[in-house]
């Protein structure tokens, strides 16, 4: 059978989709990249912002309309992820043709239910009817579940089976859910409270990946640096986990996303100086540079505490790249609050950032407040920060021109199959040409001389005759 999977939102969702793809594949089905030929279509959704929801609704509308036009009962069309959890009932009413809706913590059930539905459609009504809508209680503290640590599940990137069995860069999910209650955020509602995975399990999964050729691991968690606190491992559990992973022979790089400033301890900043594999890159969400707004957002730190973390990080690794998330136009955000955000943005020297216009999410605390910053003001603040970001990224990238950078080779460039793409330890994309082909270089660490820079990427040439690994 042909299975099409579409994923919106964060890396967590990407990782969940890898698991879904692996489950289908284990049962002998093919993952396809064209929804028009699929027998089963699964949309894995995100609820963090209105725009992400609209995209998923658009996609579902499109596949449903095509099926209606054919007056067919196939393909089976299902929804999972945060929106399925949060707005499942509403989706059922507004898009009545959807076959199943499985909440964010029920993604592991997607293959089983989708296949049962498919059999029932084909074989008439003799098969038992599977449930159409399944959600879960986000308050329940059930142990970490749904994670297949099967290596097979890592063979899918963006739901496409890799040509070979190794994945140069892999994600490992270290926890699920979030115990913070940021006023604007729907995640604790959709993904439930924090449940960390036992460290042994994570280490075992990492070791298997490294054995199969993985060089870089990104640890995923909503508040990655609060890892282990919920299972009694204490405040240093995350650094402990990094230390254990650092000892894995053959592992070259570790990244993680996303940490929370409140748990960014001196031990963690110290780890950047101490650990061989910990890359000089951190995504550290600021959200706002105004203490007043941070308080309203229920983010328990101040702008000066944030700057202190940044300076500790720069002390540990002067060339560290720091990226962030910012929300503009939170209810009640005044010009002077936004000025504070700009100030901290500059002082932190972010060279990458995701800037979001505030979007009220039903069920969150801030959704009760009037969304009182006009869209034109949100737009203006967004544009101002984007300009600042372009300037800061360009400055950061220009500093790398004429230097040699260590690149981990990942793939060919999407828009230019002749060019090869790899990343620096600081997560910068580098495009380069080489007399060697991708198959020879993928998964290798090589020295690339940078010859030019744009805001988004670097270009270089490969002059190291022998890869170092």
Distances (CA, A) of 175 to 137, 352, 413: 17, 25, 32
Greatest distance between any 2 Cα atoms in the chain:
69
Q: Is 105 in the site for ligand 5AD (CB under 6 A)?
A: no
In the list ligand 5AD, ligand SF4, none, the entry touching 180 (Cβ below 5 to 8 angstroms by class) is: ligand SF4
The backbone torsions φ and ψ at residue 7, rounded to the nearest 5 degrees and listed phi first, read -120, 135
In the list ligand 5AD, ligand SF4, none, the entry touching 327 (Cβ below 5 to 8 angstroms by class) is: ligand 5AD
Tell which positions 150-179 bind ligand 5AD, by CB under 6 A: none
Give the residue with the Cβ less far from ligand 5AD, 295 or 436. Answer: 295
- In angstroms, what is the minimal distance from the CB of 325 to ligand 5AD? 3
Residue 222: exposed, middle, or buried by beta-carbon count in 10 A (0-12, 13-18, 19+)? buried
Give the residue with the Cβ less far from ligand SF4, 192 or 422. Answer: 192
Contact at 8 Å (CB) between 6 and 34? no
Q: Is 325 in the site for ligand 5AD (CB under 6 A)?
A: yes
CA distance 439 to 442: 6
| DSSP class of 156 | E
- In angstroms, what is the minimal distance from the CB of 325 to ligand SF4? 8
- In angstroms, what is the minimal distance from the CB of 184 to ligand 5AD? 4
- In angstroms, what is the minimal distance from the CB of 223 to ligand SF4? 5
Binding segment for ligand 5AD among 93-101, 167-175, 203-211, 358-366 (CB under 6 A)? 358-366
Mention every residue, 6+ apart, whose C-beta is less than 8 A from residue 34. Answer: 4
CA distance 383 to 398: 22
Give the residue with the Cβ less far from ligand SF4, 21 or 326. Answer: 326
Q: Is 287 in the site for ligand 5AD (CB under 6 A)?
A: yes
- What's the angle, vertex CA 64, arms to CA 74 and CA 97, rounded to 5? 75
In the list ligand 5AD, ligand SF4, none, the entry touching 432 (Cβ below 5 to 8 angstroms by class) is: none
Output the six-digit token pair for 283. Answer: 């995504």
Looking at the chain, the number of H-run helices and the number of E-run strands are 13, 21
Q: Is 222 in the site for ligand SF4 (CB under 6 A)?
A: yes
Contact at 8 Å (CB) between 369 and 331? yes
CA count, 13 A, side-chain hemisphere, 157 = 12
The 177-196 contact track toward ligand SF4, x by CB under 6 A, reads -x-x-x--x-xx--------
Tell which positions 46-65 bind ligand 5AD, by CB under 6 A: 48-49
Binding segment for ligand 5AD among 20-28, 31-39, 83-91, 352-360 (CB under 6 A)? 352-360
Give the residue with the Cβ less far from ligand SF4, 5 or 182. Answer: 182
Give the residue with the Cβ less far from ligand 5AD, 221 or 285. Answer: 285
Distances (CA, A) of 259 to 117, 219, 240, 324, 350: 40, 10, 15, 10, 15
Angle of helix 266-274 relative to helix 303-316, nearest 10 degrees, comes to: 20
The owner of tokens 């059978």 is 1
Q: Is 260 in the site for ligand 5AD (CB under 6 A)?
A: no
Q: Is 301 in the site for ligand 5AD (CB under 6 A)?
A: no
Helix (H) or strand (E) holding 61: helix 50-69
Cβ atoms within 10 Å, residue 439: 9
Binding segment for ligand 5AD among 26-34, 121-129, 334-342, 354-362 (CB under 6 A)? 354-362
Q: Is 223 in the site for ligand SF4 (CB under 6 A)?
A: yes
In the list ligand 5AD, ligand SF4, none, the entry touching 175 (Cβ below 5 to 8 angstroms by class) is: none
Tell which positions 392-421 bind ligand 5AD, by CB under 6 A: none
In the list ligand SF4, ligand 5AD, none, the entry touching 222 (Cβ below 5 to 8 angstroms by class) is: ligand SF4
In the list ligand SF4, ligand 5AD, none, the entry touching 430 (Cβ below 5 to 8 angstroms by class) is: none
Give the total of residues touching ligand 5AD (CB under 6 A): 12
CA distance 336 to 334: 5
CA distance 120 to 122: 5
Strands 404-412 vs 445-453: parallel, antiparallel or unpaired: antiparallel
Q: Which of 52, 185, 217, 242 binds ligand 5AD (CB under 6 A)?
A: 185
Contact footprint for ligand SF4 (CB under 6 A): 178, 180, 182, 185, 187-188, 222-223, 260
Contact footprint for ligand 5AD (CB under 6 A): 48-49, 184-185, 285, 287, 325, 327, 356, 358-359, 361
């Amino acid at each position: 059978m042909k299975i099409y999977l579409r994923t919106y939102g964060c890396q967590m969702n990407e990782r969940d989709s890898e698991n879904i793809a692996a489950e289908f594949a284990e049962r002998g089905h093919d993952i396809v990249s064209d929804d028009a030929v699929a027998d089963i279509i699964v949309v894995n959704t995100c609820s963090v912002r209105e725009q992400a929801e609209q995209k998923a609704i658009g996609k579902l509308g499109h596949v449903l309309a095509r099926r209606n036009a054919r007056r067919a009962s196939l393909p089976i069309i299902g929804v999972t992820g945060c929106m399925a959890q949060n707005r499942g009932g509403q989706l059922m009413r507004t898009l009545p043709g959807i076959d199943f809706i499985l909440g964010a913590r029920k993604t592991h059930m997607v293959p089983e239910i989708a296949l049962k539905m498919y059999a029932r459609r084909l074989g008439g009504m003799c098969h038992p009817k599977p449930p159409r809508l399944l959600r879960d209680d986000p308050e329940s503290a059930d142990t970490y579940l749904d994670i297949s640590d099967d290596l097979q599940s890592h063979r899918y990137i963006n739901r496409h089976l890799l040509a070979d069995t190794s994945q140069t860069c892999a994600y490992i999910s270290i926890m699920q859910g979030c115990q913070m209650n940021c006023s604007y955020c729907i995640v604790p509602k959709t993904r439930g409270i924090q449940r960390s995975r036992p460290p042994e399990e994570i280490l075992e999964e990492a070791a298997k990946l490294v054995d199969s050729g993985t060089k870089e691991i990104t640890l995923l968690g909503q508040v990655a640096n609060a890892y282990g606190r919920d299972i009694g491992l204490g405040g240093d559990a995350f650094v402990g986990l990094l230390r254990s992973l650092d000892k894995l022979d053959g592992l070259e790089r570790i990244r993680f996303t996303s940490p929370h400033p409140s748990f960014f301890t001196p031990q963690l900043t110290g780890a950047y100086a101490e650990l061989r594999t910990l890359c000089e890159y951190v995504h550290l969400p600021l959200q706002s540079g105004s203490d007043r707004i941070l308080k309203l957002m229920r983010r328990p730190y101040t702008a000066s505490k944030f700057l202190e973390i940044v300076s500790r990080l720069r002390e540990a690794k002067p060339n560290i790249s720091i990226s962030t998330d910012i929300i503009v136009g939170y209810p009640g955000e005044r010009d002077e609050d936004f000025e504070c955000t700009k100030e901290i943005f500059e002082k932190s020297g972010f060279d990458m950032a995701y800037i979001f216009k505030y979007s009220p999410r039903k069920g969150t605390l801030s959704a009760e407040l009037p969304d009182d910053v006009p869209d034109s003001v949100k737009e203006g603040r967004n544009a101002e920060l984007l300009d600042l970001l372009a300037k800061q990224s360009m400055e950061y990238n220009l500093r790398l021109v004429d230097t040699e950078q260590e690149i981990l080779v990942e793939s060919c460039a999407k828009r230019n199959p002749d060019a090869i793409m790899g990343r620096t330890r600081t997560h910068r994309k580098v495009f380069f040409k080489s007399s060697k082909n991708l198959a020879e270089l993928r998964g290798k660490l090589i020295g690339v001389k940078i010859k030019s820079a744009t805001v988004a990427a670097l270009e270089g040439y490969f002059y190291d005759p022998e890869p170092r690994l």
